[in-house]
A and B are shown apart, each in its own frame.
Chain A
Amino acid sequence: MSEYAKPLPDITESTKPFWEGCKAGKLLLPKCRSCGQMFFFPNHFCPECLSEDVDWIDSSGKGVVHTFTIISRPPSDAFAADVPYVVAVIDLEEGPRMLSNVIGIPPEHVRVGMPVEVVFERVSEEITLPKFRPFDRV
């Protein structure tokens, strides 16, 4: 694998199940056993009721674009070759919202409300990033 220059997330005890899931091709979302709430960002406790009884749900990986932007000025040189690219907030079917990229489509074709599904991009030995591509509901 060629050198990946972009910032990578840190894997902590709290987020390990999420990143392990991505590596295995699953979008695992944390769910609080105590109050039933699904939440994001992944963590070892529920931010609503503070319970540490957290379950991991294998999600459908499907959602819709809640909102997005096309980045033309990158945050650093590491992203320079990618512009213009899409940063989007995805409403996942199970409820939580997550931020990611919408790929596999010209940026100017991305729309609010567009159905998308997760795809996994392996960027290092440890890290696989969940990204999204358009998904046609049949």
Chain B
Amino acid sequence: MRYQRMLVPALALVLVVVPALSARAQGEEVPRGPTFAARALQALIDGIQFGVIIAITSVGLSLIFGTIHLINFAHGEFVTIGATFAFFLNVSAAGPGWHLIPAALAAVVFGALLGGAVDRGIWRPLRARGTGLINMFIVTIGLSLLLRHVVLVLYGTRPASYAQYDIQSTIDLGPAGITPRDLTVTLLAVLVLLGVAALLQKTRIGTAVRAVSANRDLAEASGIDVQRVVLFVWMLGGGLAALGGVFFGLVEIVTWDMGFKLLLLMFAGIILGGLGSAYGAMVGSLVIGVVAQMSTLWFPVDLQYAWALLVLILVLLVRPQGILGRAERVG
């Protein structure tokens, strides 16, 4: 069904256009100020920026699912830990007070090590014990609770910003605008995503990751060391999640539960794109980010995450394997 691919964008359009028309039909007062086109452009820019950040964090989540079929509920905490670790190095009185750029790099390394440690310390022993997948999934929930509240005790409940790049004036792009910081973050995020794609396509380990996601048993039979590939995927996912956390902390704010809030959007993104596919995660997250920001044109801001989650439910109704997912039985 070639036309099925058109359904999700069509749905996204319906979500955006129908409310618009209904609002128009009710004859609502359009607030004075920037024109609708300008606000739409601004929302689109914000949405792309939000979307690429979700994409960075969700690639690892999707790859982990692809290689060991585990939905890692604690992935949001990797994001939070990346952001708060950089915060500690950058701002905290007890920390060394580094500039944000080395602090962010250190956070990425820390996230990768954390991902590796979790794989070695928890999942590998559990796999050896023959724990069922559903039970493993519940273990990730326990891990998520544990990590989140350890962060809460260490970091506290107060939202805070990094020391550098905090307040900036916007660059005027005609009707819309963007701060140099947000522009840099967006471009960096896109570069990182391209880098991940190149890694998966061109390098030996990337090929091995794709082989294991496609067919684990066949990959093992062809001599690929699956345990090593899984470890690599956990480290990659942990590092990317930490980087996404720093980016999100930069453009928004650092809080103790930021990752958990993002987690549901990541889920929406990877299901929209197709569970287990890295490129699907990128495309899906971008759509989710844009939907979340565009929804604020017609609906209150406090509902923007809710729309993204509704998109997820609609996608499951129409095309459960996602936009780029393989059309296999998922039931």
| A in complex with B | no
Q: Chain B interface (Cβ within 8 Å of chain A)?
A: none
